[in-house]
Amino acid sequence: MKKIAIIAFLLAVSVAAGRAQESRQDISISGTALVEPFIASQTDVQVHSNYALGALASYRFMLTPSSALEANYGITYQNTIKFVYPSFPNGVKVLTRTQEASAAYVRTFNYHRFNPFAEAGPAAFIFLPIRNSGTQTLDVKQQTAVGAIYGAGIAYEISPSFDIRAEYRGMVTKVPTFGDTSFATNKWYNIYNPVIGVAYHF
């Protein structure tokens, strides 16, 4: 009976160790920059922006050793979007906080400690005007827009449980109007979104 108990214990430890080595899930926290391009449109509206800094939290579940599903939530601190059009040649500024909720399919290529990857998937973006002295109109409203994300990067394994990730992401969505038809461009943004962070595997 004692031998059977010892064998059962050793089997349980072996299974647990095997599962620990699999590491089918990971979470990551990253710092990000949001760089929105200049937009000129046929509606005579120009859109100028400065960059924003923020954070991105991600969760990945590995379907196979080389493919995964990922869920993301990101938020920026603030940046200024300026709309220039004939009625306001000096522009109207809207101080903005941008949030992202997205999902993606991730394909990974394993080369020892270096793991390049590419990803793409659907996304929703929330453009939230900040009502302070930086926003020059009170007519703007929160706007939610659908779009997509895509990206490519590389992860460097610093231990079996941790890696460092650097990635270029693109965020595609319509240029926001904040509910003001004067700001309409009928254009799409391809927002540049460099990311660097740390991931924990479990």
- Sorted by where each starts, the structural domains of the chain and their CATH numbers stand as 23-201 (2.40.160.20)
Q: To the nearest whole percent, how much of the chain has pLDDT over 90?
A: 82
Q: How far apart are CA 78 and CA 54, in angstroms?
A: 8
- pLDDT attached to residue 22: 61
Residue 93: which of 144, 46, 43, 126 has the closest Cα?
A: 46
Neighbours of 88 (CB within 10 A): 14
Q: Which amino acid is at 36?
A: E
pTM reported for the whole predicted model: 0.85
The whole-chain average pLDDT of the chain stands at: 90
**Does residue 76 have a pLDDT over 70?**
yes
Q: Phi/psi zone of residue 37: left (φ > 0), alpha (ψ -120 to 50 degrees), beta?
A: beta
Instruction: Please count the CA atoms within 13 angstroms of the CA of 138 that sit on its side-chain side.
Output: 0
